Amino acid sequence: MKFFSKLERKYGKYAIKNLMYYIIILYVAGWIIQMFAPGLYYSMLALDVEKIIDNLQIWRLFSFIIMPPDSSMIFMIFALYLYYMLGSSLERVWGAFKFNVYFFMGVIFHIIAAFLIYFIFDYNIGLYFSTYYINLSLFLAFACIYPDMELYLFFVIPVKIKWLGIFDAVYFIYTVVMYIYIGMNTTGSYSASAYGTAFSAILSMLNFIVFFFMTRNYKRISPTEIKRKQNYRREVNVSRGENLVHKCDICGRTNVTNPELTFRYCSKCAGNHEYCNDHLFTHEHVK
């Protein structure tokens, strides 16, 4: 993450803090529009590449993210709560700047996908874009950082986030392969639509791929690394003859709730301030 750390030192002051709060407001506005003026979104707000090029309707590059995740009020409330929790948790761990970069990378890749599909396949797929893949990338990122946290499926069945993340990843791959197969076995507009959908799905998820593979941020959550840290912590506790609870001053996670983390005291902070390995080198020193 060194590259992003350098960018943060230079441009971090421009980051939008509590970004997910404003995204939720946009979703609510989009839901109201969908309820009372359903045609307005597609006529004026959708990512319509043709109208962006021919009529210079530039605002469509940003207004498409207003599309709510669901039209049902009950599921809308649940979805908004879930996405706010995911986004605010990621911002708390990464910081406002890195979370801003992650979210807007997803938006930019959506736009790139829409234009590429339009020019390559002559298919205006942007009209049907929502923030589904952006929210999926948020969920996968959350699953990588909090793999052992539990959600209650149907409000009853406890399921660890990592299993839901794996299920979503497998379903995403299946969807891409299915559309490629359809494209190979159809002709004309059906083939262009299928190839375009598969290609746009891959491009739309590049923010997750870039953040967790090209930056090698995934290394700390690998099974080998988690096992090594757990063994080390167990040996330390045995040698001391006691089970100490360590808590990060920034995110509040402890060695009990997150045994895969390591905790250290900062020598540059005044007093005894302890941080997890995510925030040891990124926090503001206490004077």
Is residue 287 assigned to a domain? Answer: no
E strand or H helix at 276? strand 274-276
Same domain, 157 and 20: yes
The residue range of the domain holding 237 is 223-276
- Does residue 30 register a pLDDT over 50? yes
Provide the phi-psi class of 95: left if phi over 0, else alpha when psi is between -120 and 50, else beta.
Answer: left
- Reported as a single tens digit per residue, the pLDDT across 233-277 is 666 655 444 456 788 888 888 888 888 788 888 878 877 888 888
Residue 242, φ and ψ in degrees, nearest 5: -150, 160
Amino acid in position 123: Y
| Cα→Cα distances 218→20, 143, 185, Å | 23, 11, 37
- Please tell me what DSSP assigns to residue 152: E
Is residue 101 assigned to a domain? Answer: yes
Same domain, 207 and 232: no
Q: What is the pLDDT of residue 241?
A: 43
Same domain, 185 and 44: yes
Same domain, 240 and 199: no
Inter-residue contact 114 to 126 (CB < 8 Å): yes
In sequence order, which residues have a C-beta less than 8 Å from that of residue 81 and are 6 or more positions away?
A: none
Predicted confidence band of residue 25 (pLDDT cuts 50, 70, 90): very high
Q: Determine the Cα–Cα distance for residues 23 and 69; give it in Å rounded to an integer.
A: 11
Same domain, 112 and 153: yes
β partners of residue 158: 152
- Reported as a single tens digit per residue, the pLDDT across 34-56 is 888 888 888 898 889 999 999 89
Q: What is the pTM of this model?
A: 0.68
Give Cα 179 distance to the centre of its chain. 23
Q: Determine the Cα–Cα distance for residues 62 and 108; give it in Å rounded to an integer.
A: 9
- Domain containing residue 116: CATH number: 1.20.1540
Q: What is the pLDDT of residue 233?
A: 65
Task: Note the residue count of the chain.
Answer: 287
Inter-residue contact 70 to 149 (CB < 8 Å): no
Is residue 90 assigned to a domain? Answer: yes
Is residue 281 assigned to a domain? Answer: no
Same domain, 255 and 202: no
DSSP codes of every residue in 51-72: HHHHH--TTHHHHGGGS-S-SS
Domain boundary among 202, 218, 234: 218
- Does residue 186 register a pLDDT over 70? yes
Same domain, 204 and 252: no
Number of domains in the chain: 2
- Does residue 58 register a pLDDT over 50? yes
Q: Determine the Cα–Cα distance for residues 100 and 103; give it in Å rounded to an integer.
A: 5
